[in-house]
Amino acid sequence: MTPLRRLSRIVVVLTIASAVIGVRSGRAAVEGMIEVRLPKLTVEGQPLDWNDREVHLLGRDGRLWRFDPAEVIEYRKTAARFRAYSPSELRAALLCELGDDYEVSGTGHYLVAHPRGQRDRWAERFEDLYRSFVHYFSVRGFDIQRLEYPLIGIVCKDRADFRRSAAADLNFSGGIEGYYNLVSNRITIYDMGAEGDSSDWKHNASVLIHEATHQTAFNTGVHGRASPPPTWAVEGLAMLFEAPGVYDSRNHTRAADRVNRERLAAFRRLLAPRHRPEMIASLIASDEWFRVRPATAYAEAWAMSFFLAETEPRKYMRYLKLTGGRPPFREYTAAERTADFTAIFGGDWRMLEARFLRFIEGVE
């Protein structure tokens, strides 16, 4: 890097630091907003973290932006506090983006883009899931954060439309039926029933519940978008909510209703006969298991999350609060992950495994 280019980075970083009122260790201490013009777009929002190599900014629509300070053409302070786009502004932007085949329905906490004429099929389902999530954590003493902007859900009209969206968002090549994008902060699914098989609605609902749990957790302080928790905790929580006794506890009150039957069967088939204590330690310390053996990783993540939520709910809440409150944009090392877990649940892996397997064996 030339001295002049490095100087330009430093100047931009210092200007961003002075544009928000109060700086602590290079990070914004309050909610000031800036507008930044880059070569291909202009973004406005709150700086979250910066150094001479990159700037992280929370956009007014909830999107996370990252850019090189040397790419900044122009910048200015726009407000002393963060202010999200209004629901009407977001609705207009969604309609412009998605076209005439869609309409956008607003609920208390959601804006849901869906095929025209299908409000009754989709909008309230998103809102019901949000309320169930908040209830689950509130009764367990977790202080849920207030939303700063409406959550956005997009229901594509068919699988082809979904594949186009996923390709643009994720470089998608197949194999998924819905996703939550941590960067855009949106859920995207598609209407499986539109392909002619009404029995697909149950599976559609399962995908929606899973992805909506991710989205709500990352926007209410249960998880941190700027420093995500271990994958086992993220996916384990989403799989907990797939059970009717969790996502709809008012109508499904039995303990058995809180069991995710599909994941329980997978755990017993794939893991229980040859389980070892070091499997738990590995899951806690690293996400590698999800890359090399995803089926077993998901089964283990659900089983461990269910075990902790059912047997030690207060400690489970403490662990989610700890992993959800980490400093933004910092690596979470294996040693740190292990230390955080053992600080709450202890480090005797053999004893933990014995209790874990005995509990799962007794689930009916």
CA dist., res. 158 & res. 175, Å (int) = 15
Q: What is the pLDDT of residue 173?
A: 57
Q: At what angle do helices 277-285 and 349-362 cross, to 10 degrees?
A: 100
281 domain residue, yes or no: yes
What is the reported pLDDT for 93?
95
Nearest to 133 by CA among 301, 236, 253, 246: 246
CATH number at residue 45: 2.30.30.100
* Residues 100, 173 share a domain: yes
244 CB-near residues (< 8 Å, 6+ apart):
251, 252, 257
Instruction: Kindly state whether residues 75 and 109 are assigned to the same domain.
Output: no
Does some domain include residue 225? no
Residue-wise pLDDT tens digits, 189-248: 998 765 545 455 567 788 999 999 999 999 999 999 999 999 999 999 999 999 999 999
Q: Which residue has the tokens 């420093």?
A: 227
Residues 58 and 129 grouped into a single domain: no
Residue 200 pLDDT = 52
Which residues are 65's β-sheet partners? Answer: 57
In a domain, 168, yes or no: yes
Residues 289 and 334 in one domain: yes
138, 70: one domain:
no
| CB atoms near residue 229 (< 10 Å) | 24
- Strand partners of residue 152: 111, 186
Does an H or E element contain 96, and which? helix 87-98
Domain C-terminal end among 49, 79, 109: 79
Whether 9 and 119 map to the same domain: the answer is: no
- Low pLDDT (below 70) residues in the chain: 1-31, 171-174, 193-202
**Would you state the pLDDT for residue 193?**
66
User: Is 243 in the same domain as 354?
Assistant: yes
Does residue 178 belong to any structural domain of this protein?
yes
What is the predicted pLDDT for the residue at 212?
96
Final residue belonging to a domain, choices 219, 252, 270 = 219
> Look-up: residue for tokens 């001295």?
3
Residue 313 inside a domain? The answer is yes
Q: Where are the alpha helices (DSSP H) in 220-260?
A: 231-240, 244-247
Domain range for residue 252? Answer: 231-362
Beta-strand runs (E) in the chain: 23-24, 27-28, 33-37, 42-50, 55-59, 64-67, 74-79, 102-106, 110-115, 151-156, 178-181, 186-190
- 315 occurs within a structural domain: yes
Do residues 99 and 215 both lie within one domain? yes
Quote the pLDDT of residue 201.
Answer: 53
Tell me, what's the pLDDT at 121?
A: 79
Long-range contact list for 64-68, CB < 8 A, 24+ apart?
A: 64/182, 64/183, 64/185, 64/225, 64/226, 67/36, 67/38, 67/43, 68/9
> Is residue 305 one of the residues assigned to a domain?
yes
Same domain, yes or no: 123 and 199: yes
Q: Within this chain, do residues 239 and 354 fall inside the same structural domain, yes or no? A: yes
pLDDT the model gives residue 167:
87
* Pair 210, 250 in one domain: no
What's the CATH code of the domain at 169? 3.40.30.160
In a shared domain, residues 306 and 328: yes
* Per-residue pLDDT, 118: 86
**What's the structural domain count of the chain?**
3
Neighbours of 227 (CB within 10 A): 17
Is residue 350 in a domain?
A: yes
Helices (H) and strands (E) in the chain, counts: 14, 12
